[in-house]
């Protein structure tokens, strides 16, 4: 028993030693100018109290605790009082840091996700072990390295799949149309994540580049994509698509903007708590496409580095921003090593676009009664000016120069997506059809086949009308409305129930496009998938029309009469 107690104490001391770098970081990182002895004293007292609480609970709590896990809980608890981007990074999460900073990781070339409650292969990287050895999109992963995937988190599966290049990984899958599970022995390789998902021409002269992330090589990848476009045709206008791009490295965002703006242009600046902490980032290279008409596509999921790029292009009046308001993340994180296997990713500054505005939407320093960060109301947002004296505003992300809403979705379509019915049907279709014609289109017969597929798979969806009528009936009953009123509601419910079978035909245009996109992606790859969406992409087509009209383009950028 004494030996156990000594061993426990040794673990505690090791964990306490591990905590000191974090506390030191907290100590030095949060000291502002004008700090005095009282401020330092409060920190020392906090360290002392925290250490004592940790030790007493770890040693004397009624149940045995894991000292490392208990320490991690304490660290996570501290950081939760800040913003959601300041996090502790342990050994298990280090692969994600490598992915962000280098754009590389060791894996077999599969993208996985949950589909209908199963860990499922949702994409394959061409040229890597999984694709070469016959893994298919839609395969359900039931075992990895001999461990069942049932009840295991997606992140835990990712950790099992990834590993050092050159090592083997065993995986067992279930596949539609196959009676028995299939075993694979895959070889892990170094995988470079592609920043650019697609580069090509939307129509004659109009180039289109889909930039999906900002890893270390984003600037070089963009340069090569522009060179390839020029090699394939005459590049007259360009659309840079940043929709759904969550961001990445600030330096990579600067490199991307540098391809479009004059050398030495201010692109972004950052400022932390300390005086003199401001840092300015300027373009240090001659632009590749200095005067080419440019449009940038954004939406509510364009964040961080995507907002640095779109904000700089807008403030410098270098191009038009099209789409919907962006996410509103104007905070900069710095990754600071704490030990050999751990780091802290800490918000160290805010960034400001060339006009001087910070687009951060949520103020985590001021919280409401429920503990949530506050949002600056529109009436209090300050106005800034672009190079051509156009008005732009701080906070709340980047507001596009031309607002084009996303394609409207009904509850029915949203449920089809959420329950992966398009994805599943594409797997079913690919299993029955090994080839696809070049001019593939979804026929009426396939729409009807999809309706049967939904029924066979037990798909159900309560539409908004049904939900509202239920609410109204409950309200009427509770308020003791006349029976004839309640009977009228029930009649409407009956009519609506009878119309449910026609949902698929009411939305058949949207369903036809979704099925075509999924089937093409499954059988002909991502290039075909992207190109199939171009004609119906309202935001992209609006951007193309603006670029094709010099009068509209110049007017939007405040160049009328110049």
One of 329, 345, 424, 516 is an active-site residue; which one? 329
Q: What is the mean pLDDT of residues 335-347?
A: 86
* Local confidence band at 13 (pLDDT 50, 70, 90 cut-offs): very low
Question: Is pLDDT larger for residue 293 or for residue 470?
Answer: 293
Catalytic, out of 129, 265, 283, 304: 304
How far is CA 225 from each of CA 153, 219, 230, 308, rounded to the nearest angstrom?
A: 36, 10, 9, 20
Catalytic choice (315, 317, 401, 537): 315
Closest CA to 307 of 397, 217, 405, 386: 397
Whether 16 shows a pLDDT value over 60: the answer reads: no
What confidence score (pLDDT) does residue 494 get? 75
Q: How far apart are CA 343 and CA 79, in angstroms?
A: 13
| More confident site: 163 or 2 | 163
As a whole number, mean pLDDT of residues 415-437 equals 84
Check: pTM over 0.85? Answer yes or no: no
Asked whether the CA dihedral 8, 11, 17, 22 is positive or negative, the reply is: negative
Q: What is the pLDDT of residue 2?
A: 40
- 181-195, 257-271, 471-485: which is most confident: 257-271
Residue located via tokens 């603006």: 546
Instruction: Count CB atoms within 10 A of the CB of residue 346.
Output: 21
Q: What is the per-residue pLDDT for 273?
A: 86
pLDDT given for residue 98 in this prediction: 64
329 counts as catalytic: yes
Catalytic residue status for 315 = yes
């Amino acid at each position: 028993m004494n030996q156990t107690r000594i061993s426990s104490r040794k673990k505690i001391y090791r964990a306490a030693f591990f905590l000191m770098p974090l506390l030191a970081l907290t100590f030095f990182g949060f000291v502002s100018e004008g700090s005095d002895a009282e401020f330092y004293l409060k920190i020392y007292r906090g360290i002392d109290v925290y250490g004592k609480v940790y030790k007493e609970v770890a040693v004397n709590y009624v149940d045995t605790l894991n000292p490392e896990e208990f320490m991690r809980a304490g660290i996570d608890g501290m950081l939760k009082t800040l913003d959601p981007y300041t996090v502790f990074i342990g050994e298990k999460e280090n692969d994600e840091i490598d992915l962000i900073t280098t754009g590389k990781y060791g894996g077999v070339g599969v993208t996985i996700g949950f589909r209908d409650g199963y860990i499922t292969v949702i994409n394959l990287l061409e040229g890597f072990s999984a694709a070469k050895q016959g893994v298919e999109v839609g395969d359900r992963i039931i075992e990895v390295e001999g461990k069942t995937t049932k009840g295991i988190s997606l992140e835990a599966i990712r950790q099992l799949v990834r590993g050092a290049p050159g090592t083997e990984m065993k995986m067992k899958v279930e596949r539609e149309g196959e009676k028995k599970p299939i075993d694979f022995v895959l070889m892990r390789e170094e995988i470079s994540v592609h920043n650019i998902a697609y580069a090509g021409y939307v129509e004659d002269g109009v180039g289109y580049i889909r930039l999906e992330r900002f890893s270390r090589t984003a600037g070089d990848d963009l340069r090569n994509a522009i060179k390839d476009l020029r090699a394939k045709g005459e590049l007259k206008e360009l659309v840079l698509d940043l929709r759904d791009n969550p961001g990445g490295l600030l330096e990579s965002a600067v490199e991307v903007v540098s391809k479009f703006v004059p050398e030495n242009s201010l692109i972004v600046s950052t400022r932390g708590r300390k005086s003199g902490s401001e840092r300015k980032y300027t373009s240090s290279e001659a632009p590749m496409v200095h005067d080419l008409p440019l449009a940038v596509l954004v939406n509510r999921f364009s964040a961080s580095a995507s907002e640095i790029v779109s904000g700089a292009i807008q403030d410098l009046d270098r191009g038009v921003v099209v789409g919907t308001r962006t996410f509103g993340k104007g905070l900069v994180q710095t990754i600071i090593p704490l030990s050999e296997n751990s780091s802290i990713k800490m918000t160290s500054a805010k960034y400001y676009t060339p006009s001087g505005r910070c687009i951060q939407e949520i103020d985590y320093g001021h919280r409401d009664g429920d503990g949530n960060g506050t949002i600056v109301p529109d009436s209090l947002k300050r106005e800034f000016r672009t190079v051509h004296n156009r008005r732009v505003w701080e906070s709340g992300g980047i507001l596009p120069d031309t607002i084009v809403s996303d394609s409207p979705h009904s509850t029915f379509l949203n449920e089809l997506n959420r329950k992966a019915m398009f994805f599943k049907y594409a797997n079913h279709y690919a299993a029955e059809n090994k080839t696809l014609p070049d001019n593939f289109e979804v026929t009426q017969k396939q729409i009807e086949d999809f309706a049967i597929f939904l029924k066979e798979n037990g798909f159900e969806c309560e539409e908004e009308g049904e939900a509202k009528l239920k609410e109204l009936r409950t309200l009427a009953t509770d308020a003791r409305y006349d029976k004839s009123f309640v009977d009228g509601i029930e009649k409407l419910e009956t009519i609506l129930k009878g119309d449910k079978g026609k949902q698929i035909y009411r939305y058949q245009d949207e369903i036809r496009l979704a099925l075509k996109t999924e089937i093409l992606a499954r059988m002909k790859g991502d290039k075909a998938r992207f190109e199939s969406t171009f004609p119906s992409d309202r935001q992209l087509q609006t951007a193309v029309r603006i670029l094709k009209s010099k009068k509209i383009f110049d007017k939007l950028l405040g160049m009328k009469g110049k």
